[in-house]
Copies of this chain bind each other. A is one copy, B any other.
Amino acid sequence: MREAYHVELEQLADNLADMSVQVANAMELATKALLNADLSLAEQVIGADAKIDDARAECEEQAYALLALQAPVATDLRTVLAVIHAAESLERMGDLALHVAKAARRRHPDSALPDPVRPLFSEMGEAVVRLALRVQEVIKSRDVEAARSLEADDDRIDEIHRHLFSVIMAKDWEFGVPAAVDVTLLGRFYERYADHAVSVAKRMVFVVTGRMPGYGSDDDI
């Protein structure tokens, strides 16, 4: 039974790693859609979101089956519960990529991004996709150091996010309130995406070490 348990747990971790790649792809395409006002890319992300929701439901079902059939205890139990939480965060990252794609679609054929903030979104997009791919590595390798290194990328995203606010709040912002509102919400979507990525990595550290690195959310504006 222990053997079957570990095979199933590996399978569950593989599915979680696949979800990380899916949400990384979703955010990469959504960012391209946003930067290039590309409607068909936006539609592609919007159409693919249901698959991420399904992947999460499947992870949860697998985890439930594992709990019901194997009744794991101690570390094994915490591992399965960490997977359930991680799947929820990954689904949420997919939702945030979806929101970015919908913002691109809503403004099409215009761009939702005034020129001065484009490089910031380009950099934030790259940084958050890198985070999601690192999450995949962490799930596969269970490498605690790799998980901790995510925080540096997350700090960089927070920095860009703050810079973004200073740009739209500046006196010489000439694009009006509607563009500022779009940029505010879009910035928040990227920042939340990064927070969820860090939270998945923390859950994985917990699986390896049995200790959760910091509880609660770091989510501040």
Binding site for B on A (CB under 8 A): 53, 57, 64, 67-68, 71, 73-74, 77-78, 81, 84-85, 88, 91-92, 95, 99, 102-103, 165, 168-169, 173, 176-178, 180-181, 184-185, 188, 215-217, 219-221
- Determine how many copies of this chain the complex contains: 2
Which among B81, B102, B169 is the interface contact of A84 at CB below 8 angstroms? B81
Considering the complex, give the chain B residue whose CB is closest to the CB of A85. B88
Determine whether the beta carbon of B181 is less than 8 Å from that of A169: yes
Considering the complex, give the chain B residue whose CB is closest to the CB of A186. B221
Determine whether the beta carbon of B57 is less than 8 Å from that of A215: yes
Say whether chain A's binding surface is mostly helix, strand, loop, or mixed. helix
Q: What are 21 A-B pairs at a CB distance below 8 A? A: A53-B215, A53-B216, A57-B215, A64-B77, A64-B78, A68-B73, A71-B71, A85-B88, A88-B88, A95-B217, A99-B221, A102-B220, A102-B221, A169-B177, A169-B178, A169-B181, A180-B180, A180-B181, A185-B188, A185-B221, A188-B188
